[in-house]
Structure 1
C-alpha cells in the first residue's frame, strides 16, 4: 500500500479538531479554541457559526463533530466541547450553511485542562459514540457512575442506547484518554493516549474493561482487555483514526506520523507502517473522504507544535496498492 499527499484541501485553520462530511461531500471542521465551525467545499472555507459556551484549555475546547446519519431529513450536527465546568455534547441545527438552536443533550463528562477525550462517531446502529478522558482523575475510568475514561453510546437525545451495560450511558470502560473512534462494519476501534510508556489501539466490545489506570499497554491481566497494537508514546500519541481499505489509519501528534494498521474482525492482521514521519508536524484528525481519499489535519498551532507557513492545514492523502 502506498500513501501520497495530493495537496492541501485548506490552509489557515486554527487548531482543527473535529471533521465530518456532509452528504454534498463538503465537510464541517471544528476549531478547538475559537469555538467556530467552518465549512470546506472545494477550495473555499467559510464560517458557519460559533458554538456557545466553549471554554478552551491546553487540551479542551470545541472537539469532535458528527453529522446526523439521517441528514438532511434530520438537519443536525453534534458537537463535543469543554465548558467551564464539564465536557458536554450538544445537538445543533445545521441548515442554509449556518448552525443554530444549540441544545445540550449530555453534560457531566469530567473535564480538566488535559484528558478530555472528545471524538464523536455514529455507529452503523444509528447511535452516537463518544470517546472521553479520565479528566485527569484516574479513578473515573473504573467508576461505573462516572462518564470519564469511557466510550459512551447514546441516542440522539443523549439517553443510554439500548443494550448498553447496566442501561448506563457507557459502552466500555477503563480508558485513559480516547480521541480516536472508527468502525469497520460493526466493529469499533479506539485509539488511546498512554501515560509515559504505551499508546494503544483497541478493538472495542460492549462492557469490556480496557485496564486504565491499572494497566497501560499489553498487560495480560485477567479481566482486562489488551490492545491489538501498542506504540511508545514518542512514536504515536494518537488522536483521530479512520478505517479504509482494510486498515485503521491513525493520526499521531507527538509522533508526527500517520500509522496504517491492517485489521480484520477486531484483530490486527499485520505490522503497523508509518507514513509522513516528521514531514507535516503534529497530525490530529484523519477521515475517509467520499472520493476514497483521506483528509488529514495538522495540529501545529495548538501550542505544542512548530507552525509552518499556512498551518494549520487539511491534507488530501491518496491510497494506492
Structure 2
C-alpha cells in the first residue's frame, strides 16, 4: 500500500535533527511502538544520527505480546552502541529507567560543565509527549490521539546536567516495505486521509488470523474464520454497521476493528517479529535494486535510440 504522508513540519523536523546533531548530541532516544518495533523505527533517523549511541524505547508494552517484546529487546540490545528498554509512557518509575540508560550510554557526560545532551525522536502518535510529561512531572508537552500534535522542537531539563530535546513526530517520505505501511496505518501513526481504512483492516485481519486467531473469535463471537473480507463483514454485523436493506457498511466495520486494535481491546498483540522484519527489508532492497536496474536499462536503450536517430539524420544529410 503506497503511503504519501509527509507534512511540511516533518521536513522541518528532518532539518532540525541535522542541526541538533551538528550542535552536539550525546544520545539519541528513539521511541518505538512495542506492537510494531521494526516498522516504527525510522530509517531516515538512523542516517541522520550515524555514530551516536542509541536508546530504543519500546513504548505501549502493555498493548504488545510480552514474548515478542522480549524478542525485540534482545534484537536491539545485540546491536553495537545500543540499549533497549520497554515501558509504558504514563508510568513514572519505568520512565525514569530511561535516564539511567542514557547515562550509561554516555558515561563521560552529565554535569553542568559537560551536560548530557539527549534527543528524543519517534513516529507520530507513538507517545513521546506522554513520556516527556511523565519524566518532567507536569503537562509540559501537548498530547493527543492524532498524529502530528508536536510541531516544534522543545528543550527540557530532566535533572542536573541532563538536557532532553524533543522533536515532532516524523515519518519518512517513502515507506518501501509494504507490510510496514499497513502496520503503521493500523497503529494510528499515519493521518487518516492518507490510507484506505478498509484495505488496512483487511491486512490486519490477515495478520491476526495467522498469529492470534483466537483473539478475533473471542472479541467478535465468531465460530470460525473464513476469508478476510467475510471476517470483516462479520465484524460489521456484530458491531451493527448496517445500512437499510441489511447490507454491511464495510468502512464502518473497518473503523470498528482499527479502534479496537488501537485501544488494546483485542488483547496484547505484536504484528511483526525481528525475523519477519529482516526478510521484508531484504525483499524491499531487492525490489529497489531491480527497479534501479530496469530504469538504467531503459535510459541506456533510450540513449541508444537517440544516437541511432542522430546517425541516420547525419547519413541522410
Greater per-residue helix proportion: 2
- TM-score when normalising by structure 1: 0.26
Specify which structure has the bigger relative contact order, considering alpha-carbon pairs within 8 angstroms and separated by 6 or more residues.
Answer: 2
Q: Which TM-score applies when normalising by structure 2?
A: 0.26
**Which one has a bigger Cα radius of gyration?**
2
